[in-house]
A and B are shown apart, each in its own frame.
Chain A
């Protein structure tokens, strides 16, 4: 139809490469593809309208993640379920499962778990845990960047990540036991 494609703008150059990242985070936050698609689109459009406030030359990733998370909290979470509050007892219980390495000396069980199970386990985490796992362990952000994105102190990020991983490992271990990949060992 149109003759030549429009020239790429600075916004497109800096923001669009992060589309996959935004989609992955949105998908884990919302838990459903349709909502994730809408959340990414909203994020990009909000970023576009706020483009003047973005400091050129800084990393757009953190800026976009902050916009995405705020949109999620304001517009999406409310529509879905009540926000999942961290069940401290459950978290503590899992955190005490700290002899897991001894149950899998070969380190094979994570390898044997299918991706869908792992994603389901991530999605089953309380939101406060899920978001740090996604930002840290899926996307590889450092503590400082996560703290900035979530608006919490670095110490909070560290302790949430610790407890999130323990809970996730506990869930995956249960899957592995159910699937017969590992045998329940030890007296817990």
Chain B
């Protein structure tokens, strides 16, 4: 929108959207600019990133068991019309 600097409250209010890359390019840059210059907000960013990494690590590696996938394929085949 404009070039104005963000203060800490504004930067932190945008942090969630920033981390999801959901801001306009302008605002992504403004938040990045603030984080580069502000250790306090950078600490918040690291905290959130560490949190998200932990969630991913814990939950993302889970896979549908092979025998379940096989059972579903089987069910599909027998469900096929005609």
Is A44 touching B20 in the complex (CB atoms < 8 A)? Answer: no
B9 to chain A minimum Cβ distance, whole angstroms, is 12
Docked pose: A158 CA to B22 CA in angstroms: 11
Is B50 touching A20 in the complex (CB atoms < 8 A)? Answer: no
Among the 9-residue stretches A57-65, A70-78, A110-118, the one with 4 or more Cβ atoms under 8 Å from chain B is A110-118
CB of A24 within 8 Å of the partner chain? yes
CB of B37 within 8 Å of the partner chain? no
Docked pose: A6 CA to B22 CA in angstroms: 43
Is A122 touching B50 in the complex (CB atoms < 8 A)? Answer: no
Residue of B nearest to A162 (CB): B16
Which A residues lie within 8 Å of B77 (CB)? 6
Q: Scan residues 46-76 of chain B and give those whose CB is less than 8 A from a CB of chain A.
A: 46-48, 50-60, 62-65, 68-69, 71-73, 75-76
Is A23 touching B76 in the complex (CB atoms < 8 A)? Answer: no
Which B residues lie within 8 Å of A22 (CB)? 64
Size of the chain A interface, CB-CB below 8 angstroms: 47
Is B79 touching A45 in the complex (CB atoms < 8 A)? Answer: yes
Is B79 touching A19 in the complex (CB atoms < 8 A)? Answer: no
Is A20 touching B16 in the complex (CB atoms < 8 A)? Answer: no
A-binding residues in B (CB < 8 A): 16-17, 20, 22, 43-44, 46-48, 50-60, 62-65, 68-69, 71-73, 75-77, 79
* Subset of 27 A-B contacts with CB under 8 Å: A11-B76, A12-B73, A12-B76, A19-B69, A23-B62, A23-B63, A28-B59, A40-B72, A41-B72, A41-B75, A44-B72, A44-B76, A45-B76, A45-B79, A100-B47, A101-B43, A101-B47, A102-B43, A111-B54, A115-B58, A118-B57, A133-B55, A137-B55, A138-B55, A143-B22, A165-B48, A168-B55
Pick the 10 closest A-B CB pairs, nearest first.
A23-B64, A118-B58, A110-B54, A115-B58, A101-B47, A110-B50, A138-B59, A19-B64, A107-B50, A101-B43
B-binding residues in A (CB < 8 A): 6, 11-12, 16, 19-20, 22-24, 27-28, 37, 40-41, 44-45, 48-49, 100-102, 104-105, 107, 110-111, 113, 115-116, 118-119, 122, 133-134, 136-139, 142-143, 158, 161-162, 165, 168-169, 172
